[in-house]
Structure 1
Amino acid sequence: MKVLKFGGTSVGSAKNINKVISILDQQSKTSKIAVVVSAVGGITDKLLEAANLACHKNLEYKQKYNAIWTKHNTVVEELFENSENDQRLQKYHEKLNDLVTEKLSDIRNLLDGIYLINELSPKTKDKLLSFGEALSSTIIHHTLKSRNLDATLKNAQELIVTDLNYNNATVNFELTNTNIQSFFESNGHSIVLLPGFVSKSASGEITTLGRGGSDYTAAIVAAALDAKELQIWTDVSGMFTTNPKLVKQAAPIVQLTYQEAVELSHFGAKVLYPPTVMPVLKKKIPIVIKNTLDPDAIGTTISQEVTANGFPVKGLSNIDNIALLTLQGNGMVGVPGFSKRLFETLAQEKINIILITQSSSEHSICIGISESDAERAKEVIDIVFEYEIALQKIDPLVVEKGLSIIAVVGDKMKSHQGISGKMFSTLGKNNVNIRAIAQGASERNISAVIHKDDVKKALNSLHEQFFEIKTKQINLFITGVGNVGERLIEQIKQQKAYVKERYKINMRIAGLSNSRHMIVNDEGINLKDWKAQLEAGEKASLDGFFAHAKNLNLRNSVFVDITANEAVSNIYSNYLKQSMSVVACNKIACSGNIEYYNELKALSRQYNASFLFETNVGAGLPVIDTLSHLITSGDNVNTIQAVLSGSLNFIFNNFNAETTFHDVVKQAQEEGYTEPDPRIDLSGIDVARKVLILARESGHAIELLDLESDNFLTEDAMNANSVDDFFETLKKDEAYYQSLYKSAEENNCQLKFVAEFDNGKAKVGLQEIPEGHPFYNLKGKDNIVMFYTQRYSEQPMIIKGAGAGADVTASGLFADIIRIANN
């Protein structure tokens, strides 16, 4: 038997309830389960708000009621949205509507009664609040039945017996355990649904179990049945190392002991309420915290088992809105009874003490309490100690507000030296002032009181100290420092501090090379004057550059190729065999001989070195990365349609009857959108290489010669002896290029150089794109890629953005380097 509890968020919408039902369907196939549910998310608060408004003769309680009515009816309608065509489902739908309407009417009558008598007693409040769980359990039960799941609904009020302490009743475990055991022994259903939070007194009055009552219900049932485990399903994937809202790097904790979980829960971890643990702790029943929205996430297991060789600190927690009370004076030293009187006074006022610390001199006692209780505490304590204050034996109670408590928690901290030292030194280095410290003899919890404004900084700095890995150093060897290379170096220089601080990545350039010179430095090259250093460097050599990188033997080395040189691409394998990652802007390796392409892929896997070439297609656009994710997730690419040349797109977007083709191509060259020899771009070979790479990344073994290319340049242009001669042919053949433009204009089309891959075949060529096509309005130097896949069969996945330019290409290289660093 397993017991599952689902919180308000888990049952807060039809979408989430469907997720709950899916979980129950799966689990009930292997084990009988008891399921405890909370009220629909937010309903308990709305009921309480409505009751308080009614009690104060405020007619706005009707609006609150209407919101409650709308919420439940919306959930029901969405759960049965397709029932009109199914007679069986329609019957369940109608029956559920009747039951929900009846319970909502009872709520309205009760609220109207509160309004009339102008009173909200604890007894009435319990009766009203119990409707939240009654409604949610009824809705889920009928939905389960409508979907042919073997489920029954049992009112927990008939099982859990309490005293008459309304709003926070004490359980009579002897009667309760007997009731639970007796019912489940005779139950034959796979799923037993129970409303949480609710109970009844021995005399039959409705009571509730107080804060965390649904969790408590589940724990009571689990303990009574000696369940295999108690699962608490919520909207997060377990208990986290700290508050993820304050610390982005917070991560779920896989395993905790009961004591660790209690400490973290007490100090602000909202996933689990401490009393929940107690019934199952005695029976040593494991608690598993799971995420309803991500059921496959591992979650957190809480048990008696201590993790072997685990890190001693398990989590960081905090409690906000704390006030620190300090009772001090020379008259306290050596005089017994001060502590007793202080604690008795607070107990009589039902003021909960969260933290206690006392100096060894007995000169002072510090107590942390909720800020909301501070004024009342000062008033009563000053009265109790009025005589001693008058004689100046002690000072009037000092109250400090605006504080928070942070806690470092771990069961094995007492076995590890230096935990408190690391904690306080880290806080000190980050200028976090500590007002009070508390540490029990078990050393399971080290707490400190700090100013509330320092909480985020404190948690982040402590999390970095105890949970985050140290800075990872990446050593870059860059060859090709022309236009794109220069921009990459500038980006690294500009972002170096940011990346180190934010991502704990220390990017160092250990080697630079161009076609003439090269330099290496195992301490990293100073980027302030790298050009001068490179100019004074030794003569460049591909083999020599590789030898330097190999001999330096720096950890996390990355070779970055920003050339279009075939010889450079041919030595990638040398780097990969040395477990050096390769980032390639150069397209030749991935679009050349397929055997070499496959070899590089295999070497990358064999030597655990990344081989990334995102900028081969689309410059800084995440085209290859997106394609890789599609393939990895099991999708199949059927067709690719793309405009992959930012330079050609720039040219044809700017070419018209008022311009000349020559001038536009010249402009593209001068602005860096084309290669120094524009024929490389205009011939379509660059686009052909790109679509070939996409085809290969999609799993198709094709060669460049297999591609069909429709070249739009004239024969004279292609056969020109030099770049200057090429430009002369453009002037001479202007009438031909204008005819291409005129034809497109007459057909209300735009000229685009399009790459296509379909059914294992690829082709590139100039096309007239009609209005309405995704390519038609592609502006400037933008690229666009459309993937038609098994999953995206009708509407393609589209990636669109700047596909040319030194800055965006450099940013794509930068992104690949970061990917390697994060690997």
Structure 2
Amino acid sequence: MTLKVLKFGGSSVGSAEALRRAAGIVRDELPKGGLVVVSALKGTTDQIIDACSAAGRGDLPQAHSGLAALHARHLAVAQELGLTEAVLPAWEPLFTRLDQLLTGMAMLGEATPRARDAALAVGETLSANLAALCFKGTFRDVREVMKTDARFGKARPLLDELRGAAAPWREALEGGALWVTQGFLGSSPEGITTTLGRGGSDTSATLLGEALGAGEVQIWTDVDGVLSADPSLVQEARPIPQMSLGEAEALSAFGAKVLHADSLAPGGRAGFRLVVANTLRPGASRTEILPEPPSRTAGAVTSVAYKEGISLLRFPASAGLEPPLEAARSLEEAGALRFGLISSPAGTLLAVRSETHAAAEVLGTLASSGAASGLSCESGWAVVALVGEGLRADPVAALRHLAALGQEPVGGLLTGSSTVSIAFLVPESRLGDLIPRLHDRCVLEAQEIS
């Protein structure tokens, strides 16, 4: 049998109704067994992070208030499903553990990354235990197999150890077992709980798919696969039935709501089919992300992506390369995302997005101290990308597509190393007009011509 791994995000298991829908999908997709990976119930991770923050600053009553709300919400979902008595034996020690962790953080006056990972693991495990009962499967703790290093908060998988630990799971699942496990979590070489960071649950599913030799990994979310543009800006946005791994990686890099880049790498290594589908509409269109590129018309663009909130740091030529490289390192260490680093005889441009409070502080310090050296910092920019395997077949087409920009104030081109995308910087204020125009000109008209 071809082994499948299904992953359900927080919105897909966020209520009793959502869990019932997910259970129906599991019955249809895994009639002969397989592996299901679930996230914490929607909002749970944020609640736990808030409780940890309160405990870390010594506000234990506020932390306990968050814990009580978390407890009440989970009980309400279990009661609606009629599973309270069945799930409480697994849940009670988990809530006790979270209480102990919060109390310890309050006593120390600090929420360390290690303690925060241990607390976040409670949310994932609560969900997985409930889902296992709802799906009529068996809960197995992902930390048995998801071996990582000890970088708490952003652990990296140890692939050889992961493959070795997954062998018993593969045997059982191929024998017809239906197991439900957590996403996002791992275990360090010392057996201490870790988390995988951004996109961790999707990454868990694809890493497990790789280690288990799965033929297909399905990511169930709340959209009809991957679309040709953001539907909030482009009413004519269309689902993309099939796309290449390279297209998915480019879209992820440039802000489209597709899978995180870390979750795509296992598919490239293992060659399984990756499917994105809608929990709310299981029969609707899906997107298959294939290891081998699908057929594309030369020059065709598959999708238009964008990301807002970009800041541009402009360094004068006299600064050389060391200051912009050091700024990039400092910002990334603080949690910023780098979208471009362009150097020329006229100077260097660094495009970043502050994803954390710490990154925003670093950016503010650079902006306030840079005037003396000629550094300027501009906010209110966005990165826009045209993505498609057709650009690989006809690289000159990218220049023709850029003609659609007309007189737009472009801040810079970000070609990078990808041959399936071209990106550029524009003011955020232009997105509402520019994205529909690019979609119409570069995606729809090109499809009609072909």
Give the corresponding residue for 2:13: 11
- The TM-score normalised by the length of structure 2 is 0.90
Give the corresponding residue for 1:346: 328
Give the corresponding residue for 1:154: 140
Deviations 1:341-395 (A, max 9, x none): 5324532552542112234xx1211110124646625756998xx9xx98xxxx5
Contact 2:219 2:274 in 1 (8 A): yes
Contact 1:322 1:405 in 2 (8 A): yes
Q: Secondary structure at the match of 2:206?
A: helix
Q: Are 1:96 and 2:107 an aligned pair? A: no
Give the corresponding residue for 2:184: 197
Q: Secondary structure at the match of 1:120?
A: coil
Give the corresponding residue for 1:467: 443
Deviations 1:776-797 (A, max 9, x none): xxxxxxxxxxxxxxxxxxxxxx
Give the corresponding residue for 2:66: 64
- Counterpart CA distance in 2 for 1:460 and 1:143 is 42
- Counterpart CA distance in 1 for 2:142 and 2:153 is 16
Q: Secondary structure at the match of 1:10?
A: helix
Q: Are 1:369 and 2:356 an aligned pair? A: no
Change (3 A) 1:225 1:129: same
Q: Secondary structure at the match of 1:272?
A: coil
Q: Are 1:114 and 2:105 an aligned pair? A: yes
Larger radius of gyration: 1
Change (3 A) 1:272 1:23: same
Measured after TM superposition, the shift of residue 452 of structure 1 is 1.3
Give the corresponding residue for 2:232: 245
Measured after TM superposition, the shift of residue 215 of structure 1 is 0.8
Contact 1:164 1:201 in 2 (8 A): yes
Change (3 A) 1:64 1:246: farther
Change (3 A) 1:377 1:144: closer
Change (3 A) 1:441 1:66: closer
Amino acid of the structure 2 residue aligned with 1:99: A
- Counterpart CA distance in 1 for 2:275 and 2:302 is 16
Q: Are 1:318 and 2:306 an aligned pair? A: yes
Give the corresponding residue for 2:343: 358
Deviations 1:605-651 (A, max 9, x none): xxxxxxxxxxxxxxxxxxxxxxxxxxxxxxxxxxxxxxxxxxxxxxx
Measured after TM superposition, the shift of residue 171 of structure 1 is 1.4
Give the corresponding residue for 1:128: 119
- From 387, 399, 412, the counterpart of 1:409: 387
Give the corresponding residue for 2:132: 141
Q: Secondary structure at the match of 2:11?
A: coil
Change (3 A) 1:417 1:48: closer
Measured after TM superposition, the shift of residue 121 of structure 1 is 0.6
Change (3 A) 1:442 1:140: closer
Q: For 1:788-807, list aligned pairs within 5 A.
A: none
- Counterpart CA distance in 1 for 2:418 and 2:66 is 48
Amino acid of the structure 1 residue aligned with 2:409: N
Give the corresponding residue for 2:423: 447
Measured after TM superposition, the shift of residue 439 of structure 1 is 1.7
Contact 1:382 1:397 in 2 (8 A): no
Measured after TM superposition, the shift of residue 340 of structure 1 is 5.0
Amino acid of the structure 2 residue aligned with 1:194: T
**Which structure 2 residue ranges, 5 or more long, are not aligned?**
none
Measured after TM superposition, the shift of residue 254 of structure 1 is 1.1
Contact 2:395 2:419 in 1 (8 A): no
Measured after TM superposition, the shift of residue 19 of structure 1 is 0.9
Measured after TM superposition, the shift of residue 425 of structure 1 is 3.1
- Counterpart CA distance in 2 for 1:44 and 1:278 is 25
Q: Secondary structure at the match of 1:271?
A: coil
Measured after TM superposition, the shift of residue 309 of structure 1 is 3.9
- Counterpart CA distance in 1 for 2:296 and 2:203 is 32
- The TM-score normalised by the length of structure 1 is 0.50
**Which structure 1 residue ranges, 5 or more long, are not aligned?**
81-91, 146-150, 333-337, 473-823
Contact 1:256 1:303 in 2 (8 A): yes
Matched length: 436
- Counterpart CA distance in 2 for 1:209 and 1:318 is 25
- Counterpart CA distance in 2 for 1:432 and 1:12 is 42
Measured after TM superposition, the shift of residue 63 of structure 1 is 3.0
Give the corresponding residue for 2:39: 38
Give the corresponding residue for 1:285: 272
Amino acid of the structure 1 residue aligned with 2:307: I
Deviations 1:724-779 (A, max 9, x none): xxxxxxxxxxxxxxxxxxxxxxxxxxxxxxxxxxxxxxxxxxxxxxxxxxxxxxxx
Amino acid of the structure 2 residue aligned with 1:244: P
- Counterpart CA distance in 2 for 1:309 and 1:369 is 32
Measured after TM superposition, the shift of residue 459 of structure 1 is 1.0
Contact 1:342 1:381 in 2 (8 A): no
- Counterpart CA distance in 2 for 1:119 and 1:426 is 52
Q: For 1:241-640, list aligned pairs within 5 A.
A: 241-310=228-297, 312-329=300-317, 331=318, 338-339=320-321, 342-348=324-330, 350=333, 352-359=337-344, 362-371=345-354, 373=359, 376-377=362-363, 379=365, 395-416=373-394, 419-428=397-406, 432-440=408-416, 442-468=418-444
Q: Secondary structure at the match of 1:161?
A: coil
Contact 1:3 1:34 in 2 (8 A): yes
Give identity over the alignment, percent: 28
Q: Secondary structure at the match of 1:60?
A: helix
Measured after TM superposition, the shift of residue 418 of structure 1 is 6.0
Q: Secondary structure at the match of 2:10?
A: coil
Give the corresponding residue for 2:151: 165
Q: Secondary structure at the match of 2:315?
A: strand
- Counterpart CA distance in 2 for 1:41 and 1:107 is 18
Contact 1:246 1:460 in 2 (8 A): yes
Change (3 A) 1:375 1:131: closer
Change (3 A) 1:50 1:382: closer
Deviations 1:568-598 (A, max 9, x none): xxxxxxxxxxxxxxxxxxxxxxxxxxxxxxx
Contact 1:9 1:235 in 2 (8 A): yes
- Counterpart CA distance in 1 for 2:434 and 2:314 is 23
Between 204-213 and 369-378, report the one with greater CA deviation.
369-378
Measured after TM superposition, the shift of residue 24 of structure 1 is 0.9
Give the corresponding residue for 1:742: none
Q: Are 1:224 and 2:211 an aligned pair? A: yes
Q: Secondary structure at the match of 2:13?
A: coil
Amino acid of the structure 2 residue aligned with 1:236: V
Runs of 4+ with >6 A deviation: none
Change (3 A) 1:417 1:105: closer
Contact 1:162 1:207 in 2 (8 A): yes
Q: Which has the higher contact order (CA 8 A, sep 6+)?
A: 2
Contact 2:184 2:203 in 1 (8 A): yes
- Counterpart CA distance in 2 for 1:380 and 1:221 is 41
- Counterpart CA distance in 2 for 1:26 and 1:72 is 26
Contact 2:56 2:110 in 1 (8 A): yes
